[in-house]
Amino acid sequence: MAPLKWTAAVLAFAAPVPISAQSTGPSSAGRPASTVATWRPYIREASRRFGVPVAWIERVMQAESRGRTVKGGRPIRSSAGAIGLMQVMPGTWSDMRARLGLGVDPDNPRDNILAGTFYLRLMYDRFGYPGLFAAYNAGPARYADYLAGRASLPRETVGYLASVAPDTQESDRVPATARVVEGLFAVRKIPASPPSDRLDAQPKGSLFVALSQEQ
């Protein structure tokens, strides 16, 4: 598993903050706003299914959409075209939809959360914590280039890491369930309970050869 290379800039933005001291703002990893809590039943379902902690899903949703499905009277989109609560890029949505058998509407809250959470799991299996969040934001190819010393992290990604992953010791909370089959993007085992243990599997280096840089 490739470790996250913390530069001075990243450390400045992402110093660990006690959970009790974190605020509820969009740039904080504290308790998400009430709009995110609205989707907690779907978030818990995704957490159980893919072995991603509820808190991680909620932090990503808070950073991406603040739990909103609509902005300006229209389905929420980023300037890059990212879709829905988890701000999944169209190409990634198509991949996740095919693997998970989701519906045709990427704005459907449940399906969007499942797709985004499964993608987070794939990023975790390749990059670990907190690298999964950098890959989710910048794309796995860009983050892999960063790890190899071929590129820098975008400033947006540095801030994103500070928002969703201030505690570099939190990887201990990730379970050893919900494995990903190399090259197939399919789940081999579905966990029966929320995540609690440490993931002990080694990453597959070629897992994302065919995956685009899209989130």
Q: Is 64 a catalytic residue?
A: yes
CB count within 10 Å of CB 193 equals: 10
Radius of gyration of the chain (CA): 16
Across the strands, what pairs with 180? 187
- Tell me which DSSP letter residue 203 carries: P
Phi and psi at residue 186, in whole multiples of 5°?
-125, 150
* Tokens representing residue 118 in the block: 């499964």
Q: Which of 64, 170, 182, 214 is catalytic?
A: 64
Q: Which residue in the block uniquely carries the two structure tokens 């999944």?
A: 88
SS (H, E, C) 102-136: CCCCCCCHHHHHHHHHHHHHHHHHHHCCCHHHHHH
Which residue bears the tokens 């989707």?
Answer: 39
Q: Just list the catalytic residues.
A: 64
